[in-house]
Amino acid sequence: MRSSRGIPGSPALALLPLLLLMGGCSDAYKPVIIVHGIFDGPKELEGLSGFIEAVHPGTEVVLIDLLNYKFSMAPMWKQVDEFGKVIKSIMQRSPEGVHLLCFSQGGLICRGVLSLIPNHNVHTFISLSSPLAGQFGDTEYLNRVIPALAKTKVHLFCYSKWGQRLSICDYWKDPHYTSAYLRNNIFLPLLNGEKEDSYLAEWKENFLRIKKLVLIGGPDDGVITPWQSSHFAFYDSEENVVEMRNQEFYVKDTFGLQTLDARGDLSVCVQSGVKHVEWHSNFTVFTSCMEEWLV
């Protein structure tokens, strides 16, 4: 597993004209598909698109305009299905392969898409500050969805049939109520192979078609909780963070994470000083964690 750390810089949009002059040949650049996060839309990720186009001129960058803002609270499997249709159509006209760059909640949507689509041609999957192992924290985002509940009570709503109709509940993982999470959460436990399903072997095979998995996150994110969830780590029952390689889904290789690591196709990038809403507009994050993989 490759790991890198760095100090974030400004978005550096002023550098884009210079970078355009420095860019190389566009023939080798695969299309990049960008998927937004919760309460976001394509507009919020235009800066990231600009970085890609400046450093790799001629790259086709597709900001998917779908289930934006309040509609991003739709159930996760619904979003996987709808984003999957768009992503599949782009892949079909890109036989050379594509890259998938997915922010926040979008990282889980893209994981679902990669698991469900057989014979996909995604080369690099970049997960940018996504709650890959789950979410458990009082944040502005939680309060916007469920304003009256503290995190210790959220499980009462999220692990109900009504709660499972909201995206954030589909990856809410209360470490104090693991049994209820496994029994009633219809999205994340399946995606991570934490409970048995007849499709797990097929989903694992599909996911492992990617050539590179890049995980990006940092300690000052302020939304992803614990922030290490962006690197597949999560709390135990005492809220101590258990790192990725000690997670059961890694040890059992339920969806292929251990296999990717053993292949040398897993890269982890940690950046301090970056707030959650800044990841996609921070030029240092782009150059340190993403640029080399988007060719």
CA 126 to chain centre: 7
DSSP calls for 5-26: EE------GGGHHHHHHH---S
The answer to whether residues 91 and 122 touch, using CB atoms and an 8 Å cutoff, is: yes
Q: Which of 56, 99, 120, 276 is catalytic?
A: 276
DSSP bridge pairs for 269: 4, 216
3-class DSSP assignment, residue 100: strand
DSSP-derived secondary structure letter, 288 = I
- In DSSP terms, 213 is beta-bridged to 125, 266
DSSP 139: -
d(CA 184, CA 155): 10
Distance of alpha carbon 165 from the chain centroid: 20
Active-site pick, 40, 174, 221, 265: 221
Provide the token pair at 244: 């990725």
Q: Please, is 235 exposed, middle or buried when counting C-beta atoms within 10 Å of its C-beta (0-12, 13-18, 19+)?
A: buried
Which one of the listed residues 36, 40, 56, 104 is annotated catalytic? 104
| CB-CB contact of 278 with 224 (8 Å) | no
Angle between helix axes 76-92 and 105-116 (nearest 10 degrees) is 60
Q: Is 221 a catalytic residue?
A: yes
- The catalytic residue positions are 104, 221, 276
